[in-house]
Chain A
């Protein structure tokens, strides 16, 4: 992608101000000036000494020169610190754009394999330290410009003395740069292999101390395994690095040989000039300094170019991600927000990227307003995918889903999502205060009464009130060492409380009781009617008992509706649902010793 340089300058100016640009330019000028003054020092002092001036005069002249030199030296180091700071801050500030982008981009694109890959590439641009990514890219340009300027300045000085010597220098440095580029390319080619090894190391490093894994690691003695795997990984990384460095060492040796040869010619020429009386000692010293510097500038140019081209890839990846998955222009607004909606699925198919089969196949379904629907089926039947389609997180591969007759894909996502409260199977809370996890707004902006009500309905209020800081207690230990870690059952209640607080007209609950104890489960069933009063509701569970309080049951198999109807009608019809129910009920009904059905439940009815 073109224009990365413009992009970087634009953001540097926008985020760090025009001052940052000024700093970079000043630093560039000083970076050229300083080496020049340094290189000229020996010659200048020698010139003074052999000039035959008065000692005091010489002393003053040298003092003046050295003071000037030190001032430039001070300023150069000061400005290069400032430049480093400015570029580092740029990287930090870019993170906010990135954060906003991730949060606001289209959900399905984010979750897709492509989106994840792009996201990772973008993260590398920002979070790989000072030497990789946008910071290094910007630095590369600063160095490129200052080295180019130095190269021109020195080139002019040498060229005025002898064009042939200039040519010699150019050829010599071109060759050494070539060696280095070859070595660099060799390393570049091993990039994937190295990255693979690093990825493995990072993964092992992360999971081996992740607190959730501690129990299993100890019980299954995986510590030995982890340590060995980590060491093997280090061995591999270092071997690869060594291999890469061999190239650079060879290039370095080549460079030493070349510079030996080149300098032999140069010194010979200078001595010959001196012997011929065309050059004085100060001139000799100046040229020795300048030619030594020339090589440095030229190599610097190549190194900067290499740095830029290596990070160009990351910049491309970053910008590619920033332009990816931009949500469509503001769509239509649902016609009847906040009311119990009707959802219709017409010949809906859905296939995950890269799969050969549809997960949902040609499904037709009409959910009436206020209907209570149960979704059952074996693992992998497509229940969770159906939920994601229903609430608009996924778009169907074929077919159409409508909300009150409006095509869902034409609706604004943001407005559409307001109509749903979904509890997913995979519970997780962010390490923010509990109140933020339930209300989804910043602490202090919540509706206290509604919060209490939701916690109470979810059966979590008592537990929350026991906490030292109540609803303001931070969850988990990532952010606050005194945070609270909730058990699986409590987490499910928390998720439920969040859905209740949202108070949306369509409620979808995916396995909301898996971690609840029998009494809490039963209480939830009893409160279910009250919770979803007047709302359209979908309940998914492996506990077939939950189907009792639903108006209609859908039995899903391989992405199609195999059976539908009420519990009674399905039981009468016999078939998949009845079989499954019997399978689960068996243990509750007949004793293994052949006792009559339902031996102990009589009093519960």
Chain B
């Protein structure tokens, strides 16, 4: 019972969400429901009246009844079509809104929370189940069925009770006695009770079974969809698979997942079928018993043949309504089980508070950022990535960050952009802990090109401006500075050209070209702090030199941070921070660091030795 209540608690919350998004959906469904129930019962009454008239030989009256029957059918039919016209659109709308709500929440959570494996799993699970079993639209659909069934049960039960009152013409004999008002009410109650008991049993039993299966569902579909989307569906990895003869290995993996998936679905289908069968058996007993009851009434002369069809129809409705009530509840149980995961996600709190203080808008761009004893390890890992980092980032300075792979450079940037929060210590902006600032406002200070930046399958300008509108001159300037102006001009539709082929027949761009666009995006943002993480890794020497040459002008009047494995980039930065194993080990200008003969010199020489005069190493 508790299970039953909690299902409907989830269900009602979802209905409320639907209603607050579009207030026409639920009333429209209610209207349709009333019409369809009304159609059933007027039909029953008119048909039985028609039969009685025919039995009495009143053909004229029968004709009138037939006309009334057909006329009401016409009216109900047309109004039903008119109402249902919008159902498909509306149901699709709420089904899809589910994904939007999920994303609204995801975006409102902080990056660190979203990066957690459990959270990602939760989202994936909700989405996949919604894809597979239908989402909110189905919830609404089943609630309509439940309501319709309840209305039906009430009306038909009323009719049947009314029927029970009719006494037989001849109340002698077993049949006659049983047809009396009191015995028939009792009999009817017994049949009804038996059915309610049986149905409840079935419901309980399968509720447990289905929950068990659901828990077994350990991301089977997840795996298959990974293979389909990222291994089989991605033609780009095909070359690797072929060259390395990985076909067999992947096929074997596929078979393992496939078998699991098959077993899972097989079990799910079997349990579903068994539940259906069990319900059908219970329902059959009810139908048989209730038919006998009504026929008994008819043969003893308690009711007319016309009335018999009416009551048989009512009982049919009753049985059908009970069945649909139960099966709709069963379906809701299934849906609400996974919808609860979705609601849990909506109720989830961010790991960190968002902060409230607005960031002081300074036209001079003088924002001073400082790291104070900052240590950090990634959630779920023990290994510290940054250890006791202290540094002050000079206003409008050109800073370079260098170090070996895994020294903590990229993490340093992520903390700076407040994608993660320090495990220990704090980062300050103009002396105030950055956690106290409004998150969005704080981030608006940074224009960043991440090492693994992403561009989307949208027109060039939407990628660069990252918004719905753009300023022509600003866009051109950003593209020019990123050395992408020429490239964009050469495209068929200029800045209107779509990237990639996911959506439109856009252009495929190389890694180097993508890097230029990402750089343009960072510059378009016009933020006081520019961070570039390996912005030239995919560029050829000429393009790299052009970016270098333009660097001064690009970051003029801004604070800039440049991360690169190409040590040459240190030459135009006046402040170099050297990371090693999570710590800042050295800091200074190129000349100072060379003179210090420390870790920086190792890094520098490792690369520079190949470029000096003597070719031998």
Which residues of B62-121 are within 8 A (CB) of A? 62-63, 66-67, 70-71, 73-74, 77-78, 80-82, 84-90, 92-93, 96-97, 99-100, 102-104, 106-107, 111, 114-115, 117-118, 120-121
Please give, as numbers and ranges, the residues of chain A lying within 8 Å of B295 by CB-CB distance: 45, 49, 58-59, 62
Interface contact B226-A379, CB-CB below 8 Å: no
Say yes or no: is A14 at the interface (Cβ < 8 Å to chain B).
no
CA of A36 to CA of B467, assembled, Å: 62
Say yes or no: is A336 at the interface (Cβ < 8 Å to chain B).
no
Please give, as numbers and ranges, the residues of chain B lying within 8 Å of A208 by CB-CB distance: 103, 106
Interface contact A63-B226, CB-CB below 8 Å: no
Please give, as numbers and ranges, the residues of chain A lying within 8 Å of B474 by CB-CB distance: none
Say yes or no: is A227 at the interface (Cβ < 8 Å to chain B).
yes
Say yes or no: is B361 at the interface (Cβ < 8 Å to chain A).
no
Say yes or no: is B276 at the interface (Cβ < 8 Å to chain A).
yes
Give the residue name and chain of the B residue nearest to A508 (CB). Answer: B243
Interface contact A580-B541, CB-CB below 8 Å: yes
Please give, as numbers and ranges, the residues of chain A lying within 8 Å of B185 by CB-CB distance: none
Interface size on A, residues (CB 8 A): 173
Given the interface contacts A67-B288, A225-B466, does A518 sit within 8 Å of B538 by beta carbon?
no
Interface contact A103-B544, CB-CB below 8 Å: no
Of B219, B273, B410, B454, which one neighbours A216 at CB under 8 angstroms? Answer: B454
Of A63, A115, A428, A585, which one neighbours B611 at CB under 8 angstroms? Answer: A585
Interface contact B545-A518, CB-CB below 8 Å: no
Say yes or no: is B594 at the interface (Cβ < 8 Å to chain A).
yes
CB distance from A434 to the nearest CB of B (A): 13
CA of A223 to CA of B105, assembled, Å: 11
CA of A268 to CA of B261, assembled, Å: 58
Please give, as numbers and ranges, the residues of chain A lying within 8 Å of B262 by CB-CB distance: 89, 92-93
1/0 per residue A325-363: CB within 8 Å of B? Answer: 000000000000000000000000000000000000000
1/0 per residue A455-485: CB within 8 Å of B? Answer: 0000000000000000000000111011000
CA of A478 to CA of B231, assembled, Å: 12
Interface contact A99-B254, CB-CB below 8 Å: yes
Of A267, A379, A584, which one neighbours B512 at CB under 8 angstroms? Answer: A379
Please give, as numbers and ranges, the residues of chain B lying within 8 Å of A380 by CB-CB distance: 510, 512
Give the residue name and chain of the A residue nearest to B502 (CB). Answer: A203
Given the interface contacts A96-B258, A281-B51, does A58 sit within 8 Å of B96 by beta carbon?
no
CA of A274 to CA of B255, assembled, Å: 67
Which residues of B238-276 are within 8 A (CB) of A? 238-255, 258, 261-262, 265-266, 269-270, 272-273, 276
Interface contact B272-A226, CB-CB below 8 Å: no
Please give, as numbers and ranges, the residues of chain A lying within 8 Å of B456 by CB-CB distance: 207, 213
Interface contact A601-B608, CB-CB below 8 Å: yes
Given the interface contacts A211-B115, A212-B452, does A230 sit within 8 Å of B103 by beta carbon?
yes
Of B222, B232, B250, B594, which one neighbours A600 at CB under 8 angstroms? Answer: B594
Q: Which of A2-10, A395-403, A520-528 contacts B (4 or more CB under 8 A)?
A: A520-528
State the main secondary structure of chain A at its contact with B: helix
Please give, as numbers and ranges, the residues of chain B lying within 8 Å of A585 by CB-CB distance: 611-612
Given the interface contacts A46-B305, A119-B233, A242-B89, does A542 sit within 8 Å of B222 by beta carbon?
no
Interface size on B, residues (CB 8 A): 173
Say yes or no: is A161 at the interface (Cβ < 8 Å to chain B).
no
Of A223, A244, A264, A597, which one neighbours B612 at CB under 8 angstroms? Answer: A597
Interface contact B251-A103, CB-CB below 8 Å: yes
Interface contact B540-A545, CB-CB below 8 Å: no
Ordered by A's residue number, 17 sampled pairs between the chains whose C-beta atoms are within 8 Å are A50-B55, A70-B288, A78-B276, A92-B258, A99-B227, A103-B241, A215-B414, A215-B450, A271-B54, A271-B59, A377-B540, A428-B240, A489-B406, A518-B567, A588-B568, A597-B612, A599-B594
Please give, as numbers and ranges, the residues of chain B lying within 8 Å of A242 by CB-CB distance: 85-86, 88-89
Which residues of B489-543 are within 8 A (CB) of A? 502-503, 510-513, 521, 525, 534, 537-543
Interface contact B404-A520, CB-CB below 8 Å: yes
Given the interface contacts A73-B284, A600-B605, does A426 sit within 8 Å of B51 by beta carbon?
no
Given the interface contacts A234-B97, A545-B607, does A271 sit within 8 Å of B63 by beta carbon?
yes
Say yes or no: is A116 at the interface (Cβ < 8 Å to chain B).
yes
CA of A63 to CA of B118, assembled, Å: 58
Interface contact B235-A479, CB-CB below 8 Å: no
Say yes or no: is B160 at the interface (Cβ < 8 Å to chain A).
no
Which residues of B539-571 are within 8 A (CB) of A? 539-545, 548, 565, 567-569, 571
Say yes or no: is A145 at the interface (Cβ < 8 Å to chain B).
no
Please give, as numbers and ranges, the residues of chain B lying within 8 Å of A248 by CB-CB distance: 85
Say yes or no: is A231 at the interface (Cβ < 8 Å to chain B).
yes
Say yes or no: is B471 at the interface (Cβ < 8 Å to chain A).
no
Of B77, B114, B571, which one neighbours A214 at CB under 8 angstroms? Answer: B114
Which residues of B22-63 are within 8 A (CB) of A? 51, 54-55, 59, 62-63
CA of A92 to CA of B605, assembled, Å: 58
Give the residue name and chain of the A residue nearest to B118 (CB). Answer: A481
Which residues of A185-224 are within 8 A (CB) of B? 199-201, 203, 205, 207-223
Say yes or no: is B412 at the interface (Cβ < 8 Å to chain A).
no
Which residues of B446-468 are within 8 A (CB) of A? 446-448, 450-454, 456-457, 462, 466-468
Of B59, B226, B249, B603, which one neighbours A517 at CB under 8 angstroms? Answer: B603
Given the interface contacts A74-B281, A379-B512, A601-B605, does A587 sit within 8 Å of B571 by beta carbon?
yes
Say yes or no: is B344 at the interface (Cβ < 8 Å to chain A).
no
Of B88, B103, B121, B238, which one neighbours A110 at CB under 8 angstroms? Answer: B238
Q: Which of B187-195, B296-304, B366-374 contacts A (4 or more CB under 8 A)?
A: B296-304
Of B100, B281, B419, B614, which one neighbours A215 at CB under 8 angstroms? Answer: B419
Say yes or no: is B123 at the interface (Cβ < 8 Å to chain A).
yes
Q: Which of A151-159, A366-374, A414-422 contacts B (4 or more CB under 8 A)?
A: A414-422
Interface contact A81-B103, CB-CB below 8 Å: no
Please give, as numbers and ranges, the residues of chain A lying within 8 Å of B129 by CB-CB distance: none
Say yes or no: is B312 at the interface (Cβ < 8 Å to chain A).
yes
Say yes or no: is A568 at the interface (Cβ < 8 Å to chain B).
yes
Q: Which 9 A-B pairs have the closest CB atoms?
A: A545-B610, A587-B568, A256-B77, A489-B405, A481-B117, A252-B81, A223-B107, A598-B612, A585-B611
CB distance from B113 to the nearest CB of A (A): 11
Say yes or no: is A164 at the interface (Cβ < 8 Å to chain B).
no
Say yes or no: is B308 at the interface (Cβ < 8 Å to chain A).
yes
Interface contact A478-B511, CB-CB below 8 Å: no
CA of A220 to CA of B450, assembled, Å: 12
Which residues of B423-478 are within 8 A (CB) of A? 440, 443-444, 446-448, 450-454, 456-457, 462, 466-468
